[in-house]
Amino acid sequence: MSKFLSSPQLPPGTKPLPTQVAGHKYGDGNIGCLEVDDGTILKLVQNPPNGQRELDFYDEIFKSTYDNTLIELRSFVPEFHGVIHGETNGGVAKHQYLKLENLIKKLSKPCVLDIKMGRKTYDPEASPEKVASQIAKFPPVLQLGYQFTGMLKFDTDKNKMVKYDKYFCRKLTEKTMLIDGLGEFFRQGKYYRKDYIQAVVDKLKSIETWFLNQKKYAFYASSLLLVYNASVDITEAQDIVWCSEEKEEKLDSMEDNKIDLNYESDINQTYDRLKEEGSDETGNSSFNHNNPDRSFVDVRMIDFTHVFPSEDRDENYIFGLQNLIKHLQSLLDM
């Protein structure tokens, strides 16, 4: 008997999302996020209560016509296109999926970073064992207020996609997060893309303003997804900073040890396909800096299975968000 579980049947017109950087991916009994032919993605609705909680959250945001807090929040989350039912068993759907906006659809050379927010990533209903396991996974989160859970980057030097898995992320510390974490994500060649960093900071400040004013929700184990399109000719970009040769050699060595060859093959096939088809990289003009025709930067809040009602400001999330903004601004000041 095989030690591997059979892969679930996928809905027609879908395939595993090659740019998923965190969470359970397709295979060994998992479904993961799926890429749909129409340019959206499907996210599996988890078992109750978590899955229903996330579905209710999206429903409330996108169906509200009077709550300004919710209406404003729409611009910070992926667009919600309803629920899709998967294969049935006796007339009953075995799976439900959230149909969501695909944030990297128009990116020919995508760079994707999943950052879990908050010092506490366990919700009020978590067992003592769950609390202990969450803290043990990444102790520096108590000081940082955020943690990387996965990263994928098109490396312009190597001309290929490079994946940084959860083991890479968990080796980051309070001291190394700035350069080896955030800096590495925004490094292209020997440069930090300060134009992209500034675009992300601008978006994060808008999200911060929303959090400082809202007393409706408390977010636990929720993430921010940062995406941008790597530029082919970085010499055309302004506001970039040189990385030291020593740091570059160290990071290149680390990358070579962390590449998942199967994943790399899948994502590079996707890159080749996008290159052949062409790519409309217009995006939101407020986040296109210096090269608006070739660069796209976005930040969205994702993962809402542990969102709870609240009557107070979400200081847990705010702490991590403000630290993240401060650390990105430190990169800009280098």
pLDDT at 143 over 50: yes
Average pLDDT over residues 85-98: 79
Average pLDDT over residues 290-319: 86
> What region does 30 belong to: left with phi over 0, alpha with psi -120 to 50, or beta?
beta
Segment 167-219, tens digit of pLDDT: 999 999 999 999 999 999 999 888 899 999 999 999 999 999 999 999 999 99
Burial tier of 195 (Cβ tally within 10 Å: 0-12, 13-18, 19+): buried
Average pLDDT over residues 44-57: 95
* pLDDT at position 275: 46
* pLDDT at position 106: 84
User: In the block, which residue shows the tokens 């060649």?
Assistant: 189
| Torsion sign over Cα 113, 114, 118, 119 | negative
Spatial CA neighbour of 170 closest among 145, 189, 154, 148: 148
Q: Please state, for a pLDDT cut of 90, what percent of the chain lies above it.
A: 63
pLDDT at 221 over 60: yes
Asked if residues 78 and 190 have their Cβ atoms less than 8 Å apart, the reply is no
| Dist CA 122 CA 124 (whole Å) | 7
Q: What residues contact 310, with CB distance under 8 A and at least 6 apart?
A: 215, 216, 217, 218
Asked if residues 67 and 59 have their Cβ atoms less than 8 Å apart, the reply is no
Q: What residues contact 84, with CB distance under 8 A and at least 6 apart?
A: 11, 42, 96, 97, 98, 99
Structure tokens at 322: 């403000």
Spatial CA neighbour of 22 closest among 223, 172, 200: 223
> Does residue 49 have a cis peptide bond before it, meaning omega lies within 30 degrees of 0?
yes
Burial tier of 92 (Cβ tally within 10 Å: 0-12, 13-18, 19+): exposed
* pLDDT at position 191: 86
Asked if residues 38 and 111 have their Cβ atoms less than 8 Å apart, the reply is no
Tell which wins on pLDDT, 76 or 3. 76
Length of the chain: 334
Tell which wins on pLDDT, 222 or 235. 222
Tell which wins on pLDDT, 236 or 76. 76
From first CA to last CA, the distance across the chain in angstroms is: 56
What is the rounded (10 degree) CA torsion for 233, 239, 242, 247? -90
* pLDDT at position 95: 86
Average pLDDT over residues 268-279: 46
* pLDDT at position 48: 92
pLDDT at 30 over 60: yes
* pLDDT at position 304: 98
* pLDDT at position 269: 52
pLDDT at 24 over 70: yes
Q: How far is CA 36 from CA 21, 148, 233, 307, in A?
A: 17, 26, 31, 26
Asked if residues 16 and 35 have their Cβ atoms less than 8 Å apart, the reply is yes
* pLDDT at position 169: 96
Mean pLDDT of the chain: 82
Spatial CA neighbour of 155 closest among 25, 251, 246: 251
* pLDDT at position 60: 97
pLDDT at 251 over 80: no
What is the pTM assigned to this prediction?
A: 0.82
CATH architecture of 110-332: 2-Layer Sandwich (3.30)
Average pLDDT over residues 272-288: 39
* pLDDT at position 28: 66
* pLDDT at position 292: 42
Amino acid present at 285: S
Structure tokens at 333: 């000041």
Segment 3-13, tens digit of pLDDT: 455 667 788 88
